[in-house]
Amino acid sequence: MIIAIDGPAGSGKSTVAKIVADKLNFRYIDTGSMYRSVAWKSLQKNAALKDEDAVADIASKVKIELIYGKKGQLVFVDGENITDQLKVEEISRGAAIVAAQPMIREIMTIKQRKLGLEGKVVMDGRDIGTVVFPKADKKFFLDADPKERGRRRFIELKEKKQINNADLPTIIEQVVQRDHEDRSRKIAPLKQAKDAMLIDTTHLSIDQVVEEIIKVIVPGSQTF
């Protein structure tokens, strides 16, 4: 069974997807971290992020491991724990740049399909329900008001002490800009799959969103 959860930054999809996976005893796969890892590795190697051949070469060779433990998700790239470096703005921007290039998307889509075919997977991203697994068993599209999404991102960065003096309006602007790029790119743009259930999370708690999703996956479940 494959559950696809797509949506823009700050829609709550990663937090929700992780909890849904835990509750179902499924594996959670965060495809955003995969694109972030490619951007990180490319910057380490001094590759220009828009140099599609160079970045594709890196994407095809890099070993990305997503490991889940009590402290949440850890990301290892070629054996190095880079978890704390992935959420900074430079990598968010970098991920969006590499993710707009066809060769990179093809390589990542193949990796993601392989992971998904192991079964019992909750996968989150931008194109899971539309491109990676168009036949996913259940599809959800999470969205929220841009101001609220920016506010969530601001809090997340503050908690991780990665705010770099940016204020709330700046963070909202960055989130809106990245969404615009993700939605308007030619290949695999961020959009709701026709058969995905839309959940507006603006005024919902994480628990409420999780409950909505679990109700659809396990009909009649009250005590989950």
Task: Name the residues that contact ligand C5P, by CB under 6 A.
Answer: 9, 31-33, 35-36, 92, 95-96, 99, 125-128, 178, 182
Q: Which is nearer to ligand C5P, 81 or 218 (CB)?
A: 81
Q: Which is nearer to ligand C5P, 15 or 31 (CB)?
A: 31
Q: Which is nearer to ligand C5P, 32 or 150 (CB)?
A: 32
Q: Which is nearer to ligand C5P, 142 or 210 (CB)?
A: 142
Q: Which is nearer to ligand C5P, 12 or 32 (CB)?
A: 32
Smallest distance from ligand C5P to CB 7, Å: 9
- Helix (H, G, I), strand (E, B), or coil: what is residue 86? coil
Smallest distance from ligand C5P to CB 90, Å: 12
Q: Which is nearer to ligand C5P, 88 or 168 (CB)?
A: 88
Smallest distance from ligand C5P to CB 127, Å: 5
CB 142 within 8 A of CB 209: yes
Smallest distance from ligand C5P to CB 221, Å: 27
CB 59 within 8 A of CB 98: yes
**Mutual angle of helices 89-99 and 102-116, in 10-degree steps:** 100
Smallest distance from ligand C5P to CB 169, Å: 20
Integer Cα distance of 10 and 32 in angstroms: 12
Tell me how far CA of residue 139 lies from CA of 33, 121, 129, 209, in angstroms: 20, 12, 6, 14
**Strand ranges for 27-105 from DSSP E:** 27-30, 64-69, 72-77, 80-81
In the chain, what is the greatest distance between 2 CA atoms, to the nearest angstrom?
53
CB 11 within 8 A of CB 151: no
Smallest distance from ligand C5P to CB 33, Å: 6
Specify the DSSP element, H or E, that contains 174. Answer: helix 168-184
